[in-house]
Amino acid sequence: MYQLSKPAAHLAPYIEHYWFVSATEATPFDLRVDVYVDARADLVFNFGVPYTRTVLGERPRLQQASNLDAQRSRPIQIAQQGAVDIVGVRFHTAGLSPFVSLPIVHWTDRIVPIDQVFGVDVLPVEYALRRANGTAEKTQILDAYLGRRLQLTPAKESVQVLKARIEAEGGRVRMDELCEAGRINIRQLDRLFRSHVGFTPKTFARIVRFQQALSLLRTDPGCTLAAVGAACGYYDQPHFVRDFKTYAGVAPKAQVGYFPADGPADFSPNVVQFVQDPRRE
């Protein structure tokens, strides 16, 4: 069973949703997902069987313990079979930063034990989630814990504004315009984004543009690659295909009209791809 729940209103600017996947030994679950690059991080509480996490081009790694699966620059594949029991927190871009004290660039492309990110006070939360019944109770536990940790600073508030502008403009924004908007120089801008987004602003802009292209491809079965590439600001089709393969691991034509008709109402097509859905070559 795959379920989502929304965080409390004051956490919603930083947390996209909480997610829950569960199955019993009597009704085992075959979970396989492709996670494309989106600059988001996931806090994963794993109470079930181990899962396999594979970075494109590398050997699979078996994961048992709860962890922070930090913002990624390469696509990954997740596979888990049997008695699955996972509670997850999906942060918005730059959404992890308000809950931690260290620059999040330290964790880019890494899987980190939860206590190394949040400290030992996260361990009682893990215990409480393990014992909780139902998504409502688990949501309350997460809201209470993350609400206590939420700490905004001028820098964290500033990066929220600047990253929102990049997203609003589909990644097609000049760095000097961002510097002017933030009243900072280019080195300060780079440092701000590395600390609170985990990437430089230019890399983040590339990811935003890729995500826009992915969404257009998946939701419009009649689209053409040339039209999508032009709409998203790629200067030619080879550039579009190259960037797309970097962040998705597949060519863009494989994603045309992908959005599953029988998927959940709040399924996010630019986050995961379920093995049960039809795949295109």
Average pLDDT (232-255) is 89
Superfamily of domain 2-149: Jelly Rolls (2.60.120.10)
Band of residue 274 on the pLDDT scale cut at 50, 70, 90 = very low
Residue 249 pLDDT exceeds 50 = yes
The 10s digit of each residue's pLDDT in 56-67 is 889 999 999 999
Strand runs labelled E in the chain = 2-5, 15-22, 29-35, 42-46, 51-55, 61-63, 67-69, 76-82, 85-91, 111-113, 272-274
> Encoding tokens for residue 85?
């029991």
The 10s digit of each residue's pLDDT in 135-187 is 999 999 999 999 999 999 999 999 999 999 999 999 999 999 999 999 999 99
The 10s digit of each residue's pLDDT in 224-234 is 888 999 999 99
Whether the Cβ atoms of residue 20 and residue 87 lie closer than 8 Å to each other: yes
CA dihedral 193, 195, 196, 197 (to 10 degrees): 50
Domain boundaries, the chain: 2-149
CB atoms within 10 A of CB 225: 18
Count how many Cα atoms sit within 13 Å of the Cα of residue 52 in the half-sphere of its side chain: 14
Residues sharing a CB contact under 8 Å with residue 61, sequence separation 6 or more, in sequence order:
52, 53, 54, 111
Average pLDDT across the chain, whole number: 88
